[in-house]
Each structure stands twice: as C-alpha cells, then as structure tokens.
Structure 1
Amino acid sequence: MCGRMANTLPPDAMARLFDAAPDNDLPPAPRFNICPTQSVAVVTAEATGRRYRAMRWGFLPTWYKSPTDGPLLINARAETIAEKPAFRAACRERRCLVPVSGFYEWSKDADGNRLPWYVRPADGAPLVLAGIWQDWAAGNEALTTFAIVTCAAGAGLSHIHHREPVSLAPEDWGKWLGEAGKGAALLMRSAPEGRLAAHRVDRRVNSNRVEGPELIEPI
C-alpha cells in the first residue's frame, strides 16, 4: 500500500519534465511527510495538453455526501479497480501521474512494533506513481481528489509489505494518461527488481505531525 509520501521535487522542474502547464496553487516543496487528505501535485492529460495541478489525497466517490461520509480511499487495488463502483469510471477515464521522491512503508518486528522504511528509486530519479482522480461536490463544497493504484509487492519490497504502489517508467507515462492508446491495465504490476531501493528510517515518521529532511535519512 502507500500511506505516506515525501516530495523534494521543485514544481517548476517537474512541470518541465512532464511538459505540463503548472497551476498557480501547487503545494510547496520540499515536504517529507505527506499524509492523506493533504494536497499533492499530480499530472493529468487535458484537451489542451498536460496539466500539473493540486489534488487532495483521498478519493471521494460522487455519492459521498461529505468528505467523511465513508472510508478514506487513499489506495485503489489494481486487481479490482475496474470492478469497484467507486473506481471503475476513473480507471477508464481519469488517470493521473503522481511524481514524488519516495514513499514510506511499515513492517513489524517480533513484538508487533511498526518499523518505518523509506522507499525511493535506486537511481535517484523522480518516482512516478499511477493514480486515478475524481471531481467531487456536495452543497457549497467541491474537491478534486485522487487515489494511488497498488498491486502485490514484488521481490524487492515483499519483505517489508505485501502491497506496493504501481510505479511507472517514463515510456509508460503517456499510456497511463491515455495519450498513447490502450494498454494501461498491463502497467498495473510491481516494479522490476532493482528499480526501487529501501532503507529503515527513524520512528519519528510514525507521527503525522513531524516534518523535516531527517525523516528520510537511513538509521
């Protein structure tokens, strides 16, 4: 799964990397402890070209009467995404790229204590996660929200957790966005062995109130 992220990527550099027009309300960077319900910069494909824009992390189905009307949907399972009523339309029509520096995952020790790990690309490049998004509105409140697609963990991460976010290579960005024909479903798989690296980090990141570059440092 994916429940926390870090993003040290400058917004202007990311806009250039994805050849996307940046919005004016992008969240600041760097951020070392991005939590669900916070704003995250993502890339979408629009009729006029790619757009780099802010969305709330936590997908809201159209039938929710408020942001807290049901479970917080931060992840969407690749195995059932095309069938779940909450996700199936977004899976077909509204896919996005979520560029980050890395994400956190937790394992457990023999006593059941949660041990945090930081996972990032082994080559130091931006990590681009597969996402789906949804406009939501009720009364006077309107939000654009997203979830990260997850799959069974591959050999590189299965010792930490049984799930991992779907990550996309540069040659797959256009296909996931729907710009390069069909076949996005084939991209919903674990990262090739060697693409991702992981190291243990301090338990301070277990709190969603802490922030700072020391959170991603190895221990």
Structure 2
Amino acid sequence: MCGRFANTLPSDAMAQLFDAAPANTLPHVPNYNVCPTTDIHVIYRTDDHRRLVPMRWGFVPKWYKAPNDGPLLINARAETLADKPVFREACRVRRCLIPADGFYEWHRPEAGDKQPWFIQPAGEGPMVFAGIWQDWQQDGQRLSTCAMVTTEAQGRMAEIHHRIPVMVRPEHWAKWLGEEGHGAATLMCAAPDEALRFHRVSRAINSNRALGPELIEELDE
C-alpha cells in the first residue's frame, strides 16, 4: 500500500497543468510528508470542467456514522474496485487524479528493520495517481474524501513492496476522469521499471511529524 507521498508543485502550477479551476482552500505546498487523513490536492471533473480541490486522504463510505467509524480506506485495490460495494459506485462515476512528486514505501529485508524508499518518475513532470472520491455527510458535518487506486507491483518495485499506486500518464488523464467515455479500467496497471526511479531515504520519514526536503534525499550508505 502507499501510505505517504511528497507533493511540492505549487497550487497555481497544478491548476495550469491540469487545466482545472482551483479552490481557495488548497493544502500547503511544498509538503514532503503527506500523511493519511490530511487534505491533499485532487483533480476531478464536474459540470463540464475540471476542479482542483482539497480532499481528505481516507475514503469515508456514506454509511459511516463518523469518519473514524470503520477501517481507514486510503487505498483501493484495482482488482476488486468495481465489485466492492464500498468503492463500486465511485469507480464508475467519481474518479480523480492525485498529483505528487513521488511516494514512500518500506522494504523489510530478511534481517534488520524496515528501510524506506522514495519512488519517483524517471522523466519530467509529476507522478499522477489514479483515485476515487466520495462526499460524506452526517449530522451537518460534510467531508470530501478520496482513496488511491493500487495494483500488484511488477519488476524492481515488487522487490520493495508487493503493491504500487496506479499512475496515470498525461495522455490518459481525460479517460480516467471520464471525459472520453469508457475504458478507464484498462489504465489500472503497474508502471514499468523504466518509468520509475528508486532510492533509499532516511528513516526520519517514519515519523508523521517529519518535515523538509531532506526526507526525499538519497541515503548515503
């Protein structure tokens, strides 16, 4: 699963890149340690245009009586996305894009503690995750929430962790957002090794209070 990522692209640059109208309450960037349950930048389509908005990272089903009424759903498995009642409607009509610089994953060697890695695009531009979103409302409280779509890792990524976020290339953004009809299911596959760069980072990222660009720097050991 993906449980942390980094996002440093300025909000106005994100709005321009995705041709999306930005909300006035977007999260602070840069953020080198984006954690679950915090607000993140999300692009979705409504009323024939794209919007860049904040959403809570942690999908809240409509039947939850409170945001913490059940498991924290930060990831949704591509293999069961269309079948699980909790995600089924969202995967059909409420898909979104989640921009990032890269994400963190932890590998446990045969001996020793877990080692964090930072995975980022091999080329230019941001890493864009496939997501789904859900508005939740109870007793006057309202939240816009989302989850990342993940799939089975391949190649070198599988040596670090068995799951990987689904990444959407620029030419497929419109299809994932539902702007080009059907076919979004064909996009839910793992990125090849050549599309990614991997390096080890400090265990400082283990703390959800850790801050600063040093979190994504390559470990010199």
Give the TM-score band, short-chain normalised: over 0.9
Q: Which residue of 2 aligns with 1:39?
A: 39
Unpaired runs of at least 5, structure 1 = none
What does residue 142 of structure 2 align with? 142
> Judging changes above 3 Å, is the alpha-carbon distance between structure 1 residues 141 and 112 closer, same or farther for their aligned structure 2 residues?
farther
In 2, are the aligned partners of 1:121 and 1:127 still within 8 Å (CA)? yes
The offset of 1:193, in angstroms, is: 2.8
**Deviation (angstroms), 1:209:** 1.1
The amino acid of 1:58's aligned partner reads: G
2:34 and 2:16 mapped to 1: Cα distance?
Answer: 23
1:112, distance to aligned residue in structure 2 (A): 4.8
Q: Give me the whole-angstrom Cα distance separating, in 1, the residues matched to 2:133 and 2:153.
A: 23
Q: How far apart in 1 are the matches of 2:112 and 2:60? A: 32
Normalised TM-score (structure 2): 0.97
Same amino acid, percent of matched pairs: 58
**In the alignment, structure 1 residue 197 sits paired with structure 2 residue 197:** yes
2:68 aligned with 1:78: no
Deviation at 1:184, TM superposition (A): 0.3
Q: TM-score, normalised by structure 1?
A: 0.98
Separation (CA, whole Å) in 1 of partners of 2:108 and 2:67: 31
Distance 2:101 2:172 in 1: 18
Shift of 1:70: 0.2
Name the structure 1 match of 2:155.
Answer: 155
C-alpha separation between the residues in 1 aligned to 2:192 and 2:160? 16
- Report the count of equivalent residues: 219
Contact 1:60 1:136 in 2 (8 A): yes
Match of 1:69 in 2: 69
Q: Does 1:178 align with 2:178?
A: yes
- The alignment's C-alpha RMSD in Å is 0.9
Structure number with the higher helix fraction is 2
**Maintained 8 Å contact 1:123/1:195:** yes
Quote the offset at 1:69 in angstroms.
Answer: 0.5
Range that drifts further, 151-160 or 174-183: 151-160
C-alpha separation between the residues in 2 aligned to 1:168 and 1:207?
29
Which structure 1 residue ranges, 4+ long, deviate > 6 Å from structure 2? none
After TM superposition, the structure 1 = structure 2 runs for residues 1-219 of structure 1, keeping only pairs within 5 Å, are 1-219=1-219
